[in-house]
Structure 1
Amino acid sequence: MSTAAVTASEHLIDPEIADFLKLWPIRDLSPTSLAAARALLQEIVTAQFDAMGADRADSDMTREERVIPGGKGQPDVRAVIHRPVGDAITPGYFHVHGGGYVMGAPEFTDSRDRAVVTRHGCTVISPAYRLAPETKFPGAVEDCYLALKWFHENARALGVDPDCIIVGGESAGGGLAAALTVLVRDRGEIPIAGQLLAYPMLDDRTGSTVQPGRFSGEFLWTAAENRFGWASLLPCPPGSDNVSPYAAAARTTDMAGLPPTYILTGALDLFLDENMDFIRRLIHAGVPAGLTVYPGAYHAFDLAGETRLGRAFAADYDEAMIWLLTRPKTAS
């Protein structure tokens, strides 16, 4: 999450979001700086989401924590659940937090989860998956699979329609949600109605064996930080030939049978090319899919608050959520 001293893309940044970069003093993410970065990122992200969480009605929802029992040698997984008050059956949203696979917690996005409950009447669950480098692949995706399977199996008890559960997340959370969706398809145990991914971290090759565009990834999440994140997660160097699609969803060769997908990303984001390519391949495989690219937007630009781009992102996020939640359940 560093800002380069000399950049090619600074003049392309939308002026309304330029000042937000000053809030991100984290530079040169590394094993020695990781602990401090985790604490600082938690503080900044929580403050930003809380500042944007005004249009919520907490009295109309509940928040609880559950510990989902592990099995077959897996540890338990803590999860945070937000749901509307009342007896109505709701859609389900399985929300995976971001943080480069090395940072973050479900509390990262409490305010966004509350907003989804308020605006869409969803029951939202967010798992506390194990972070890298303490836990390598497949720990995080297996934690998410365990939590998603529990969510589906207990849907009726939670007041959730088990046939209307979508998955999603931001940055590494979006990448993990996409990898989870590939794993779910291949195991064939859980139906997923769709996935909503914000600037997802999908491809370990970006910044290692595949170089990003000249104007991509100079702010908030750089190629160097991407290499660190993937190197922390993977048991092999980023860009290696044997990386699993259950770790990096862009490694999926067969896109058929994946659920309807929508991605929102920035024109200056390091992940722009991999996000566009992922949607292109889904469309070519016959999967309903769409993409919105925001001009002048760097990684995680929506956290900059009440700006024109932030409002556009929020509106498009809501529209994509509605599109996924209201699609016929038989669609694939």
Structure 2
Amino acid sequence: MVLSFIGVLALPAWADYPEKSVRIVVGFTPGGGPDIIARHLAQELGAMWKQQVIVENRPGAGGSLGAAAVARAAPDGYTLLSVSSAHAAAPAIYSKLPYETKELTGITLTGVSKYVLVVSPSLGITSLQQLLRTVREKPGRFNFSSAGVGSGTHFAAEILKARAKIDVVHVPFKGIPEALSETVTGRVQFFMAPIANAVGPVKDGRLLPLAVSSRERDALLPQVPTVAEAGVPDYESTLWFGLLTSAAVPRAIVDKVSADVGKVLSSSTTRERWQPIGIEPRPTTPAAFDQLLAEEIRVFTEIARGANIRAE
């Protein structure tokens, strides 16, 4: 009896995790990929854990305000962070972040997707080649929208700008909905929009898709060529999403959350829900996601230096 009682006392603190509600912070406005993924995970993990999982949007500074909140949170695994590719861009464009990258650790990659270059039908341009030709005839007079300086949508367009050798002006907005809206009206000429957000306006005719950012065409828009097919060789830009937490959280908790999220991502429910918006579930180990983050930060830093992209 004594040995049995001692054994109960010796159970690690994470054995019954989670014992209370869990918070998933999103550093962007509602409606974008990190938010869509966080809300799906909240629903599925809540059912699995028998605990409430709350999504909290804390937009600002390219997602770094939300990241800082998670880095400063109690390192108990009850505060998670849903991010997109923009998380790797932040260290590349901000001279000083409100957190250090080493203060956060990866839990898992959650999904991958792509961008689609869209224009307003009123622009009168129906192909990427026509857009590039028109832009080259009028250097500096065309502009493109983004979900903010340093966002994935910004970098996807900057890579196109560099590869295609075009002179276009960046117009950043607060988030994806605003960037889409300004493109629909034609006040901004084009937008490298996440396919999850673009497919609706494309299918109802408010936007015209010219190319997708991936190496291969997408099943959602099979008639739309890749940017490389449409005339910009070697172009590729992948949109990815992931989950992080404080680096001080015990490894056993990180591993448990990673395994449980992996179960959600591997389910047919997730695949069926995300397929119509062009997001492919892609679970990884924490170590694999950390490795991806380090490589993406390196790549974005090179792009930012070449294009002189700074948030200040």
Normalised to the residue count of structure 1, the TM-score between the two structures is 0.28
Q: Choose 1 or 2 for highest CA Rg.
A: 2
Q: Which has the higher relative contact order, 1 or 2, with Cα contacts under 8 A spaced 6 or more apart?
A: 2
Normalised to the residue count of structure 2, the TM-score between the two structures is 0.29
